[in-house]
C-alpha cells in the first residue's frame, strides 16, 4: 500500500474500538503518525501494538472527552510536540437511552448532547490553529444519515447529530478560504460494540464491517 499520508500527523477520537479503531489502522497503513484518543487505556495499548506492526508510530492519549477542558489541554500538548495537525477524525459518540423525550433522564440528555455536539465544538475551537499550520488539512466528523428521519424515541441522538451537521456546515463556510477541508461522513450500519448496546441480539447479515466503512472514509480524504 502506498504511504500517501507519510509525514502527516493524524488524530482520531474514539480510537479504541469500532470505526475509530479501523480508521486509525487504515491511516497507519498509509503512513500517518497517529494520536489515539479514547478512555480505554488497555484498548489503546493494544491498538498501539498493532500500529507498530504496520511500521507506523502512534501516541496514546487516555482522555475523557466529556471533560471539555481536557481538549484544550490536548491542543496545547500537540502544538508543543508536533506543531501542527494534518488529519482529524472525530469518531467518538454515544446513542444514549432510546425512550420518549418526556421520559429521558436529564443526565443522559446532557451526556449525549455533550459528547456528540459540544465536544466537537471544543475540538474545532482547540485544533483549528493547529490545522491551519498544515499545508493541507482534513477534518472528518462522523454523523448518521438516519437522524434526518427524526424517528421517535431517538430524540437526544437525533438532535445531537443534526446539531453536529449544522455546526460542521457553518464552520465549513467560515474556513472556506483556508487550507482546511471539513467533511461529514455517514457510515452504513456497522457490526460494532456500540450498535450491540442498542440492538442486542441483532442478526443482520447486511451490517458492514468497520474496515469497509473506514476505507470509504479514507477515500473521502484521498480525493481532496
Q: Which pLDDT value is given to residue 134?
A: 97
Domain limits of the chain? 9-222
Q: For the segment 18-47, what is each residue's pLDDT rounded down to a tens digit?
A: 999 999 999 999 999 999 999 999 999 999
Residue 133 reports pLDDT greater than 80: yes
- All three cell numbers of 26, joined, read 487504515
In whole numbers, what is the pLDDT of the chain averaged over residues? 92
- Cell 431517538, located at residue: 154
Does residue 201 surpass a pLDDT of 60? no
**pLDDT (0 to 100) of residue 2:** 67
- Among 46-50, 77-81, 207-211, which is the least confidently predicted range? 207-211
Q: How many CB atoms lie within 10 A of CB 80?
A: 8
Sign of torsion over alpha carbons 210, 188, 151, 149: positive
Going across the sheet that includes 9-13, the strands are 58-62, 33-38, 9-13, 87-90, 137-142, 180-185
* pLDDT score at 189: 81
User: Count of CB atoms within 10 A of residue 89's CB?
Assistant: 28
Instruction: Scan for cell 501516541, then name that residue.
Output: 59
Q: What is the fold of 9-222? A: Rossmann fold (3.40.50)
206 pLDDT band, cuts 50/70/90, is: confident
Q: Which of 32-41, 54-63, 92-101, 198-207 has the lowest mean pLDDT?
A: 198-207
Amino acid at each position: 500500500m502506498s504511504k500517501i499520508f507519510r509525514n502527516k500527523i493524524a488524530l482520531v477520537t474514539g480510537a479504541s474500538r469500532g470505526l475509530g479503531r479501523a480508521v486509525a489502522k487504515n491511516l497507519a497503513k498509509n503512513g500517518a503518525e497517529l494520536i489515539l484518543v479514547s478512555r480505554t487505556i488497555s484498548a489503546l495499548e493494544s491498538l498501539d501494538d498493532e500500529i507498530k506492526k504496520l511500521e507506523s508510530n502512534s501516541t496514546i492519549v487516555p482522555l475523557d472527552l466529556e471533560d471539555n477542558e481536557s481538549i484544550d489541554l490536548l491542543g496545547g500538548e500537540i502544538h508543543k510536540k508536533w506543531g501542527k495537525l494534518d488529519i482529524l477524525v472525530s469518531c467518538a459518540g454515544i446513542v444514549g437511552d432510546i425512550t420518549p423525550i418526556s421520559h429521558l433522564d436529564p443526565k443522559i440528555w446532557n451526556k449525549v448532547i455533550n459528547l456528540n455536539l459540544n465536544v466537537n465544538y471544543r475540538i474545532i475551537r482547540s485544533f483549528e490553529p493547529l490545522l491551519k499550520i498544515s499545508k493541507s488539512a482534513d477534518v472528518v466528523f462522523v454523523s448518521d444519515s438516519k437522524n434526518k428521519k427524526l424517528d421517535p424515541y431517538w430524540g437526544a441522538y437525533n438532535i445531537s447529530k443534526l446539531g453536529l451537521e449544522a455546526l460542521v456546515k457553518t464552520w465549513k463556510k467560515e474556513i472556506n478560504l483556508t487550507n482546511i477541508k471539513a467533511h461529514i461522513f455517514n457510515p452504513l450500519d456497522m457490526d460494532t460494540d456500540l450498535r450491540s448496546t442498542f440492538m442486542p441480539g441483532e442478526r443482520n447479515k447486511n451490517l458492514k464491517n468497520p474496515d469497509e466503512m473506514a476505507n470509504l472514509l479514507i477515500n473521502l480524504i484521498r480525493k481532496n
